[in-house]
Amino acid sequence: MDERRQIKELEISKKITMRKILIILLLVTASTTFAQLVKKGETEIFRFKTSGGKTAVICTGDSDSYIVYRFGTNGKVELVYPAAMNIDSWQLFTYSYYFRGGGKENAGLDLNYLSFENNGYLYKLYQEYSAEAESESAGIIVTGANGIETDFKAVSNSVKGSLVDLRYMDKLKREQ
Q: Per-residue pLDDT tens for 117-127?
A: 999 999 999 99
In order of 45, 54, 58, 76, 96, the CA distances from 61 in angstroms are: 11, 22, 10, 21, 21
How is the chain split into domains, by residue range? Answer: 1-34, 43-167
Q: pTM for the whole thing?
A: 0.78
The alpha carbon dihedral of 28, 33, 38, 42 has a sign of positive
Q: CA nearest 112: which of 19, 23, 175, 22? A: 175
Q: Per-residue pLDDT tens for 89-112?
A: 999 999 999 999 988 888 999 999
